[in-house]
Amino acid sequence: MKIVVGGQMEKKEIERMIKEFDPSIETTIKSDVEAAMALKTGQVDYYLGACHTGGGGALAMAIAIIGRNQCETVSMPGKQPVEEKVIEAVNEGKKAFGFTGDHANQAVPMILRAIKNKN
């Protein structure tokens, strides 16, 4: 599986968390635009990104480039990620996930677990 880390912040930390979850996952770090294009062109399977609000810098360009129906804001300020919603989004076929930087340690493993157990 290939995952690109886009968004606007905590990129190296997110990549570290992905590797910690499963070292066999191939990761790359790109700008938000390049990351969204990598997903659109099939170079990667999933996009993860963080910003301060979860849906702005993290996902805005991905929404524009691959479409809103493939993107999910997993957390926002004051709204922690919810495992059931993440599982639902992954099973619906969503490919790009945005979250706030301070929720990354919860959101990243939650997203990866959902992908691993995808129906």
Question: Contact positions toward another protein, by CB under 8 A?
Answer: 8-9, 31-33, 51-53, 55-57, 60-61, 63-65, 68, 76-79
Residue 105 Cβ vs another protein, minimum distance, rounded to whole Å:
16
Distances (CA, A) of 98 to 40, 41, 116: 16, 19, 18
Q: Which is nearer to another protein, 59 or 115 (CB)?
A: 59
Q: CA-CA distance, 93 to 103, in Å (whole number)?
A: 22
Q: Are 84 and 56 in contact (CB under 8 A)?
A: no
Residue 107 Cβ vs another protein, minimum distance, rounded to whole Å:
16
Residue 78 Cβ vs another protein, minimum distance, rounded to whole Å:
3
Q: Which is nearer to another protein, 25 or 76 (CB)?
A: 76
CA dihedral for 44, 59, 9, 19, sign (positive or negative): negative
Eight-state DSSP code of residue 42: T
Q: Which is nearer to another protein, 31 or 91 (CB)?
A: 31
